[in-house]
Structure 1
Amino acid sequence: MKFSIFIVLLISFASQAVELKARVTDLEQPTDIKFFPNSSEKLLVAGKEGQLTFTDLSKNNTYLVYDFDVKSGSEMGLLGLAFHPSYAENQTKNNFLFVNYFPKKGERRTRVSRFSLNKSGKSYNLTNEKIILEIEQPYGNHNGGQIIFGPDGYLYIGMGDGGSGGDPKGHSQNTKTLLGNMLRIDINTTDDIPYAIPQDNPFVKQASFEPEIWAYGLRNPWRFSFYQGALIAADVGQHKYEEISIVEKGQNMGWNTMEATHCFKPKKNCDTTGLTLPKLEYGRDQGQSITGGYVYQGELNTELKSHYIYGDFVSGNIWSAEYPSFTSPTKLLSNQGNLSTFAIDANGEIYVAEFGKGIVYQLVP
């Protein structure tokens, strides 16, 4: 692998001008990027085919940490990473990395596991897998893949509707399945207990709901993030619309009754009672597969302060939208390739990965 500091792409729209500066190249189909807590230099990159890569931006140092044996067809593979929320404070006790991936052996399933992330000399390695949760997948697509710790210390897991098209098995409105939901679990358990259910989860006392469910009615949440306590999720659409929502406790996000703010099957009456509609949507003239991002908190791009930055995997467009209103979205860049994931460093600066070229870019003025 090699680094490239001077590859720059520049397009200016409205008053906001940004560049994409390549920071890491020669990666294999990146699907997720996570900076080490409190770091703007050290990061881990997940690759769809199973490669977990470490990079130190300050030292031009990149190497393979671990190679997961994964099913990687369709939308499967190594999909998500999350550091233990107390990793920075106590790396001796909580040196854990949580991983969302599809194990190659056995039936098709999402697995969320905890690993010890150990440093030996100048290198990191993974050991001691503890399987937290496994969920059978009927198809190879719409797997979600994001895992993230909230400010409450609980692990949030975004699950797609199980795949095919149009949610043929009705998972997203079926609250007795874990598919099509945002899940919330407590991973601070002893080694013999995979996880616990937070007692303030919204449906713990309702027999018609699985207790892990935090919110339901999602199609394929592809990247979500927290900002000031709010969970901002991008949900990939079916035929016509992509959407961004604030996901709160106990909500029904509408799929497959709705696609964004529109009836999914317009010839049938659709009742929006009790549904939470998105904050922002766009149609097929702008893109076909949304990639959620982050609210910009850095100092380099001052005009983007407090704007949510997001993109599209198919059109390669990158936008900013004012937070929390999500009004006046501005296109920052066009045709930047297959944008698979965004990342944010300790300084609040934003990065984005291009899937096909295997490049991690930084947004700079």
Structure 2
Amino acid sequence: MTKLRWSIPTTLALVAGLLAAMPASARDTGPIKDPIPDDPAPSGLGLVVEEIAQLPKSEPTPPELVVDPRLKRHNRINYVGELPDGSGRMYVPDLNGKLYFLDKKTKTPKPYLDVGATFAPDFFSAQGLGQGFGFVTFHPEFKKNGKFYTVHVEAGNALTTKKPDLTPQPRTAYHGVVDEWTAADPAADAFQGTRREILRVGFSGRIHGIQQIDFNPNARPGDAEYGKLYLAVGDGGNGNVGDNGGDPQNLAVPQGKILRIDPAGNDSANGKYGIPADNPFAGQAGKVGEIYAYGMRDPHRFTWDRGAGKRMFLAHIGEHAIESIHDIRPGSNLGWSEREGAFTFDKADRCFLYPLPEDDAENGYNYPVAAYDHDPPPGHSCTSDSGHAISGGFVYRGAHLPALRGKYLFTDIVDGRLMYTEEREMKLDPAGRNRAQIYSLQAYDTSGTPVTMRQLAGDNRVDLRISADGKGEPYLIAKANGKIWKVVGTRQFADCKTVPVRVSDATAERDWAPVTPSKWRFPGDEVVLAEAGAERPGPRRPFEYAVLQKGPVLGSSQVDAKVRLDTPVEITNRDVIIVFGHRSDTEFYYAHLSTDNAIYPHNGIFAVDNADRLRIDQQWNGNRQVPHGAPPAITDANWHDVRVKHCAGTGEIAVYLDGSRKPLMTAVDTTFGSGRVGFGSFDNIGRLRDLTVTGTRAS
């Protein structure tokens, strides 16, 4: 029989099921303060990254119109891929205009084509985060036919001298243009050849234009899918209001859609490409036959899994709160702007999302298979950018990183978080309730030092993307400093050695040094905190604990024990702590294991460094509406297995519960490189048994 482990995700699923069964009159229809309480969880897995290239600095065009500081980056590289010709060359587009090839061996960048100069003076990249030379993709037969495709933005005279091919938005201010280029010599390192325009789309806003364009790598010659070009077309930045409100749901216009065309065909309205007959709306009156899927705000990146399912996944950037991943099928409708993720979007409310209506199943919306929310910080205005945006991503099927196989890898563009979810858990749910758990990834440099992408990029706004080479091996790209890193390995978090010291059978009174000895009992096989502690003078820290005196002072250490909370379960703020790195009563770390995770001092990893305890774990979420930490550690009166591992050299700290291979909480902090371990609480009672401590002797 499988034992059900109660956790936040389990509880939320149960509540969602009960809500679905309620009559409409009993359902909560008010605003949702925390749409996705289930945060990305620590995976205990890290990516080892190695810098391989530095791309040249560049500026938006025309420079005098740049007012948004988010466009003033080292450059605006947004993708890296490998040419499908077996040469090993890689390519990198820069939104500011140039396409670079990277040398196979040295990864030295060389300009291959200046798209910006080709279309000057109408080329435009000075306003809007996605404006400029947005993307490039190469035909699967590029080695033979030399064909590749680009998308760029035009303004200026183009708005009066050139006409969009599909219905433009009212007051069109920008054109998104797709061109086909044919290289005279596909093996050359600089472009010479011809080009032709195949499609032009009109947008009224300067964001959410044409994002990615690409071919399905799973298609083979002879397949109906082979050579079909997909285009992710955004809503123009205002597909929820004004003249363009409803465009993503309007099948008579191209904005807010994924289009699918045949560049080798000629039966489109402009005669420059074909409309595949197997498109879901091909040949239907009043509908754009090029549409493959719809209901989108900002379809940032899409990819096809090369595994057995061959599924198409889309990373979709939200408005109020939701960053989502979708399993795209022909005719899929993501629901924007009636829906954001699996929630009701109210155009009149700039701050909150709302529950789905009782009859929502009738709409048949394609809800996320995985998602996370923005969790704006305290004091943040709900009408401004909260600084989060998803960038997909692909399912890893490569050969060199077995720990990543089957994982859909993606990033947050702004803060640079690295994340994944398991492809096998990414299942369509028409009700929008069940989503795959998202996990966070640590980053390491090649020396094994834990780092963040913010540190590697040298900026709090990373502008991070992830993509892959022809063999499916991952690369990371940052606009902040124009660098590219290759993921060259994986490693477990806090994977240091904790030998040769081993301490066990340590439950005698002589083995421990309590703060207040009278409050403790040592019956023989347990260490019991029998009376609650009281606050003491000095910095805010645990009230009562005992330090293990048996054995030497440790550097790196691992504490394994069973703990139990004796405070009644009706008290929600009860806790026990595991002390480590203890040097004095005002210098130590502790892991706080609590029933409550709703306030800053509970259920986390803390450092006391001659000042009030400071939270150092990576799980605290300061959501201005519903702040919370990791899922509650101990909610019952049972014994629980706890492991706390501390790597003194790197500062990695991991807390595990009940044999889980994934940590409940993690931190990176190098304040204390050695010390003793202990057990206690703030103002509760509890006990410990089956203690084993392993580690290295402190130098």
Residue pair 1:181, 1:218 contacting (<8 A) in 2 also: yes
Alpha-carbon offset, residue 268 of structure 1:
9.3
Residue type of the partner of 2:414?
Answer: V
Q: Hey, what does 2:141 align to over in structure 1?
A: 86
Q: For residues 121 and 243 of structure 1, what CA distance do their matches in structure 2 show?
A: 39
Query: Which of 471, 477, 480 matches 1:353?
Result: 477
The answer to which structure has the higher strand fraction is 1
Residue type of the partner of 1:34?
Answer: G
Query: Which of 71, 76, 79 matches 1:32?
Result: 79
Describe the shift of the 1:247–1:167 C-alpha distance in structure 2 as closer, same or farther (beyond 3 A): farther
Q: Hey, what does 2:93 align to over in structure 1?
A: 46
Q: Hey, what does 1:325 align to over in structure 2?
A: 425
Q: After the TM superposition, which of the residue ranges 114-123 and 347-356 deviates more from structure 2?
A: 114-123
Q: After the TM superposition, which of the residue ranges 327-336 and 227-236 deviates more from structure 2?
A: 327-336
Q: For residues 257 and 186 of structure 2, what CA distance do their matches in structure 1 show?
A: 38
Describe the shift of the 1:97–1:14 C-alpha distance in structure 2 as closer, same or farther (beyond 3 A): same
Matched, 1:197 2:306: no
Q: For residues 135 and 239 of structure 1, what CA distance do their matches in structure 2 show?
A: 26
Describe the shift of the 1:346–1:145 C-alpha distance in structure 2 as closer, same or farther (beyond 3 A): same
Q: For residues 203 and 343 of structure 1, what CA distance do their matches in structure 2 show?
A: 31
Q: For residues 320 and 21 of structure 1, what CA distance do their matches in structure 2 show?
A: 20
Alpha-carbon offset, residue 40 of structure 1:
8.1
SS at match of 1:324: helix
Q: For residues 425 and 297 of structure 2, what CA distance do their matches in structure 1 show?
A: 23
Alpha-carbon offset, residue 274 of structure 1:
1.7
Q: For residues 320 and 137 of structure 1, what CA distance do their matches in structure 2 show?
A: 33
Alpha-carbon offset, residue 297 of structure 1:
1.7
Alpha-carbon offset, residue 335 of structure 1:
4.6
Pairing of 1:14-33 with structure 2 (within 5 A): 14-27=43-56, 28-33=75-80
Query: Which of 216, 219, 233 matches 1:159?
Result: 233
Matched, 1:256 2:337: yes
Q: After the TM superposition, which of the residue ranges 290-299 and 213-222 deviates more from structure 2?
A: 290-299
Residue type of the partner of 1:346?
Answer: G
Describe the shift of the 1:167–1:44 C-alpha distance in structure 2 as closer, same or farther (beyond 3 A): farther
Q: For residues 243 and 14 of structure 1, what CA distance do their matches in structure 2 show?
A: 19
SS at match of 2:154: coil
Residue pair 1:143, 1:162 contacting (<8 A) in 2 also: yes
Describe the shift of the 1:279–1:126 C-alpha distance in structure 2 as closer, same or farther (beyond 3 A): farther
Q: For residues 464 and 185 of structure 2, what CA distance do their matches in structure 1 show?
A: 28
Describe the shift of the 1:56–1:263 C-alpha distance in structure 2 as closer, same or farther (beyond 3 A): same
Describe the shift of the 1:261–1:364 C-alpha distance in structure 2 as closer, same or farther (beyond 3 A): same
Q: After the TM superposition, which of the residue ranges 41-50 and 117-126 deviates more from structure 2?
A: 117-126
Q: Hey, what does 1:222 align to over in structure 2?
A: 300
Residue type of the partner of 2:371?
Answer: E
Matched, 1:312 2:412: yes
Residue pair 1:79, 1:146 contacting (<8 A) in 2 also: yes
Q: Hey, what does 1:362 align to over in structure 2?
A: 486
Q: Hey, what does 1:71 align to over in structure 2?
A: 124
Describe the shift of the 1:261–1:121 C-alpha distance in structure 2 as closer, same or farther (beyond 3 A): closer
- After TM superposition, which residue ranges in structure 1, 4 or more long, deviate above 6 angstroms? none
Q: Hey, what does 1:103 align to over in structure 2?
A: 154
Residue pair 1:296, 1:306 contacting (<8 A) in 2 also: yes
Q: After the TM superposition, which of the residue ranges 122-131 and 265-274 deviates more from structure 2?
A: 265-274
Residue type of the partner of 1:275?
Answer: Y
Residue type of the partner of 2:366?
Answer: T
Matched, 1:184 2:239: no
Q: Hey, what does 2:391 align to over in structure 1?
A: 291
Alpha-carbon offset, residue 281 of structure 1:
0.8
Pairing of 1:331-346 with structure 2 (within 5 A): 331-333=440-442, 334-336=452-454, 337-346=461-470
- C-alpha RMSD of the superposition: 2.4
Q: For residues 350 and 121 of structure 1, what CA distance do their matches in structure 2 show?
A: 24
SS at match of 1:172: helix
Describe the shift of the 1:206–1:121 C-alpha distance in structure 2 as closer, same or farther (beyond 3 A): closer
Alpha-carbon offset, residue 294 of structure 1:
1.1
Unaligned segments of structure 2, at least 5 residues: 1-41, 57-74, 117-122, 160-173, 220-224, 347-352, 377-386, 427-435, 443-451, 455-460, 490-699
Q: After the TM superposition, which of the residue ranges 309-318 and 162-171 deviates more from structure 2?
A: 162-171
Q: Hey, what does 2:325 align to over in structure 1?
A: 244
Residue type of the partner of 2:418?
Answer: I
Describe the shift of the 1:122–1:274 C-alpha distance in structure 2 as closer, same or farther (beyond 3 A): closer
When normalised by structure 2's length, the TM-score is 0.47
Residue pair 1:29, 1:355 contacting (<8 A) in 2 also: yes
Q: For residues 462 and 440 of structure 2, what CA distance do their matches in structure 1 show?
A: 16
Residue pair 2:53, 2:108 contacting (<8 A) in 1 also: no
More RCO (CA 8 Å, sep 6+)? 1
Residue pair 1:115, 1:126 contacting (<8 A) in 2 also: no
Residue pair 2:302, 2:312 contacting (<8 A) in 1 also: yes
The answer to which structure has the higher helix fraction is 2
Residue pair 1:32, 1:79 contacting (<8 A) in 2 also: no
Q: For residues 35 and 193 of structure 1, what CA distance do their matches in structure 2 show?
A: 31
Q: Deviations over 1:179-228 (max 9, x none)?
A: 000100111137x9410110111111321311000111011111111114
Alpha-carbon offset, residue 38 of structure 1:
5.5
The percent of aligned pairs where both chains have the same amino acid is 26
Q: How many residues align?
A: 349
When normalised by structure 1's length, the TM-score is 0.88
Describe the shift of the 1:126–1:281 C-alpha distance in structure 2 as closer, same or farther (beyond 3 A): farther
Q: Hey, what does 1:9 align to over in structure 2?
A: none
Q: For residues 225 and 250 of structure 1, what CA distance do their matches in structure 2 show?
A: 17
Describe the shift of the 1:227–1:112 C-alpha distance in structure 2 as closer, same or farther (beyond 3 A): same
Matched, 1:55 2:102: yes
